[in-house]
Amino acid sequence: MKFFLKTILAALLLLPGLAAKGDDMREKYIRRWRDVAMEQMAASGVPASITLAQGCLESANGTSRLAVEANNHFGIKCKNWHGPVIRHDDDLKDECFRSYDSAEDSFSDHSDFLRYNDRYSFLFDLSPTDYKGWARGLKKAGYATDPAYAEKLIKIIEDYKLYQYDLAGSYKGPKPVLPPPPSVLERSVKVERPLQFRPRSLGSVVIDYTFYEKHGIVYIVATGTETYASLARQFNLFRREILRFNEEKKDHTIPAGTMVYLQPKRSQSTKDLAKHVVEEGETMKSMSQRFAVKMKNLYKFNNMRPGREPLPGTIINLRKEKK
């Protein structure tokens, strides 16, 4: 019994040292990968703080078997994967996980994994500095089965001040290419989340768009020659992403004169524009585009069933009414 008690006591005395060693490993991990996380944020819009916190947690600060043997820092499994794999016991025995040639490839695939999956698409409507919203959203979307997953990410971010890497100007590498100031505005377009508007040719024709702004949301006006897929390619967006911005379900040729948003529309209109009288020919979709407010929210604000249309002269709420 005495020997057992001495062993327990010795172990307890070692705990502070072990904790300090763990903290030191986490700090080294963050220093090693913070620039990569910021590069991914500039390219994809995934907050650097979230990327770093998930990397710390999922890879045990880079020491897990998946990280060491497969360069997999985010615990991403094999679904929809055609590359090399590794078998590892997780929720189930001998599960299939993705394997990468380098850890940098793992960071890049993590960004693509979030942006290509429909179940994570709502996260990109959040501010890139809303790390709490992102953490809770990842848990809600089912990224991990741990019920405390969001709280663990938030704690890592706050303990190590990872939110500093989400702030504008913290990234010292190449800047994302933002749209030029539109000639119709006196001030520059303000882009809420990092987007790369990289001009590309559409077949043999290069269209030089003017960028406009509606309540802080950037849009262009279609010429009648584009599809949402072609615009996604031209502005370095994903097809699903630009469809979601404009609340379209399928790709199609866009009629000339259509406003096409390159960012998520607002949840509600500005305070100085709370209501609108429906004009002849207007629909909920056209008003959604006109005022840069999500169509699903317009239906909610006006207690209307989706698919119904208001009559001309109807007063439509563009904001949630205060009770």
Per-residue model confidence as pLDDT tens digits over 245-267: 999 989 999 998 899 998 889 99
Torsion, Cα 40 154 119 191, to 10 degrees, reads -50
Average of per-residue pLDDT across 22-26: 80
Does residue 254 form part of some domain? no
Residues 80-137 have pLDDT tens digits of 888 899 998 877 888 999 999 999 999 999 988 888 787 888 888 787 889 999 999 9
Residue finishing a domain among 166, 182, 205: 166
Residues 188-210 have pLDDT tens digits of 344 333 344 444 433 334 456 77
| Statement to judge: residues 24 and 155 lie in one domain | yes
Q: How many structural domains does the chain have?
A: 2
- pTM strictly above 0.85: no
Does residue 204 form part of some domain? no
Domain of residue 289, CATH code:
3.10.350.10
Domain of residue 88, CATH code:
1.10.530.10
Does residue 70 form part of some domain? yes
Residue finishing a domain among 111, 143, 166: 166
Residues facing residue 86 across a β-bridge: 97
| Statement to judge: residues 156 and 27 lie in one domain | yes
- Count of CB atoms situated within 10 Å of the CB of 108: 17
pLDDT at 322 over 80: no
Share of the chain above pLDDT 70, in %: 80
Residues 283-298 have pLDDT tens digits of 999 999 999 999 999 9
Question: 7-16, 27-36, 163-172 — which one is most confidently predicted on average?
Answer: 27-36
pLDDT at 229 over 80: yes
Does residue 188 form part of some domain? no
What is the model's pLDDT at position 238? 81
Structural domain boundaries, residue 283: 275-317
Does residue 95 form part of some domain? yes
What is the model's pLDDT at position 191? 39
pLDDT at 8 over 70: no
Average of per-residue pLDDT across 201-222: 69
| 22-15-155 Cα angle (round to 5) | 45
What is the model's pLDDT at position 2? 46
Residue finishing a domain among 135, 166, 197: 166
Q: What's the chain's average pLDDT?
A: 80
Does residue 93 form part of some domain? yes
- d(CA 311, CA 109) in angstroms, rounded, equals 48
Question: 14-23, 28-37, 86-95, 112-121 — which one is most confidently predicted on average?
Answer: 28-37
Share of the chain above pLDDT 90, in %: 45
